[in-house]
Amino acid sequence: MCPKVVDVRYLSNFELRQICYFLAVVEAGNNFSKAAEQLDIEQPPLSQRIRSLEKALSVELFNRRTRPLRLTPAGQAFLEEASLALNHLERAIDNAQLVSRGEIGRLIVGINSGIANSLLPDILRTFRQRFPKVELVLRELTGEQQIQEMRNYQVDVGFEHLPNHYEQATDLCFLPFLQDSLLIALPENHHLAAQSQIPLEALAQEPFVIPSLKNAPSLYTETINLCKNAGFLPQIAQEATWMITVLSLIAGGIGVALLSSNVRTLHRAGVVYRNIQGANLNRQIAALWRQGDENISPVLCEFLQVIAEVASENSKYNL
């Protein structure tokens, strides 16, 4: 059944104040004098407003031939529906104000291993405590999927490493907030595992497990370029998308990998992590969103503010 279309031109004949005054009289026991006193107005203007409302409705709301005054059947019917309408209007006003402050709404967040293994728990905890009525929809996506779905308006905000291929895109905004670095992940029984730091050159003959170029172009490119700078091309034994898969392959002896330092939060049996000797391979994790959305989405603005605050409070992650 289709909803009834509101006749705006007809309803414009009525003043909201008239309806509010009518409800005030009813709440005062159908006593005009008492209602006028509560409204802090004179009784004659109040009576005139009610008369004007009755004229616009073409009905009598009060039976003035009885004492005390009583509502007519038409007045009783109008009271019931008008009360509901004003309750809905009041709720609409409240909700509009809450939305404008970013206190209610919905935000679709794209997440990946880089943020999930670091500040995501703190960000979510802080945001939910501050804005419990906002619905957060979390979607686990690769960097490429985040970009695509963001441009298709399927994701509102996401996280990606910098530098990347989209850093100069005019339709996207990036907010760096988290410092990251790379380390070497290798099987615990690997002959290099006894060293606390490993030079990249020592991995020249090792098989590598790396993410695919399609799903994680940033880390793929970094791995290739770093190995090239160390004088060799990595021998790619296996490509994998998700971090848990990469670690499983390493634990199984398939190869070694260059991974984000936040992977240390994942304690995978059979895998050890070692720093890269003689290299300061720092990079950044940034929040990203569509250009201009920060001007029209209070919820997005509040989420970005929480990200900045959480990063600032966690000094070990500060840029």
**Structural domains in the chain, sorted by start:** 8-99 (1.10.10.10), 104-178+284-317 (3.40.190.10), 180-283 (3.40.190.10)
* H or E element in which residue 276 lies: strand 271-276
257-260 and 271-276 beta bridge pairing? unpaired
CA atoms within 13 A on the CB side of 8: 0
The angle at the Cα of 40, spanning 35 to 45, to the nearest 5 degrees, equals 70
> Alpha helices of 101-191 — where are they, by DSSP H?
113-116, 120-130, 143-151
Which residue is it, tokens 């616009």?
56
Which residues share a beta bridge with 77? Answer: none
Do 164 and 143 touch, CB atoms closer than 8 A? Answer: yes
pLDDT (0 to 100) of residue 5: 67
62-63 and 235-239 beta bridge pairing? unpaired
Q: Is the model's pTM score more than 0.95?
A: no
3-state secondary structure of 262: helix
How many whole angstroms separate alpha carbon 301 and alpha carbon 279?
Answer: 36
Do 224 and 213 touch, CB atoms closer than 8 A? Answer: no
Closest CA to 59 of 74, 48, 79, 77: 74
pLDDT (0 to 100) of residue 317: 42
pLDDT (0 to 100) of residue 318: 44
pLDDT (0 to 100) of residue 314: 79
Structure tokens at 113: 């291993």
The angle at the Cα of 149, spanning 108 to 217, to the nearest 5 degrees, equals 115
Give every residue of the chain whose pLDDT is below 50, as ranges. 1, 316-319
In sequence order, which residues have a C-beta less than 8 Å from that of residue 78 and are 6 or more positions away? 22, 57, 59, 61
pLDDT (0 to 100) of residue 227: 93
In sequence order, which residues have a C-beta less than 8 Å from that of residue 32 and are 6 or more positions away? 25, 43, 46, 47, 50, 69
Which residue is it, tokens 């770093």?
226
Which residue is it, tokens 């590598």?
208
